[in-house]
Structure 1
């Protein structure tokens, strides 16, 4: 693949990584698809690079849900709180681009927990636990995608 092609793949991987940190784009999927396109063009050993990178991304996706679920279960936060936080976060994203997603998520989780517990301090603890779980999932997904990007970079240099 010519250098300009590698740079396009690198830019797409970078966009995917940014999509994880600023959840506007499906970051892990973009990273994986970028490496898939690269492997399809390069061929040969590039498919092994793609297989390793895809495995890392899939494992990261599974682990993030398991770890976040355990965190939420141990905190006593029900799934309904996460759903409400997610819906309000999506609305918040359109009201205040990017940062509204985070603010809306915390606000939605707080309101859901307040309705459930009828105590402001318990609602705040629940909202913070939900926010922490969201950050944990983001961190795990980012770590897995960065590992996949590192595998791709090593493969691109080697091939």
Structure 2
């Protein structure tokens, strides 16, 4: 697979990660389709292993969705901008501090945005709890699964 194709797969995967943050966009399916595209073009055992792992992980995530609270962003009281910033913070955090940085990035960015918006530490934490109850867990679990897939893909591309 050429460099430009890898860049295109990476951009589609990034689009899927952002799609996880937007309600109604099938972010998981976009991430999985990017891995499928790469595996069909690469045809190495590592590529097929990542595809099988991605398929299994995203299917488990789909099975867990009914157990998590539904997304109700309007009930959190936080503006949409805060939720989008939290998602971007999770994506950046995942790659800065592998795996656990996604959770820290999401919660930390939501707290920072809400603290700046509301003006106090206490109000910021109250808002973070409200965001996590209204949207956070379902978004965080789905984003974390997609980030694991993206991280596995990137790991195989760079070091495989």
TM over 0.5: yes
Check the 8 A contact 1:54/1:148 in 2, yes or no.
no
How many aligned residue pairs are there?
109
Structure 2 residue aligned with 1:151:
152
Runs of 4+ in 1 over 6 A off after TM superposition: 128-131
3-state SS, counterpart of residue 4 of structure 1: helix
Q: Note if 1:41 corresponds to 2:41.
A: yes
CA offsets 1:25-83 (integer angstroms, 9 cap, x no match): 210110001000100000121111111122122222222322337xxxxxxxxxxxx8x
TM-score by length of 1: 0.58
**Structure 1 counterpart of 2:69:** 68
Cα RMSD after superposing both structures: 2.9
Structure 2, unpaired ranges of 5+: 84-128
- Supply the distance in 2 between the matched residues of 1:42 and 1:28 (Cα, whole angstroms): 21
Instruction: Measure the CA separation in 2 of the matches of 1:157 and 1:54.
Output: 21
Report whether the alignment pairs 1:6 with 2:9. no
1:12, 1:34 within 8 Å by CA — same for their partners in 2?
Answer: yes
**1:7 Cα offset (Å):** 0.6
Structure 1, unaligned runs of 5 or more: 70-81, 90-97, 103-127
Match of 2:68, SS state, is helix
Contact 1:17 1:27 in 2 (8 A): yes
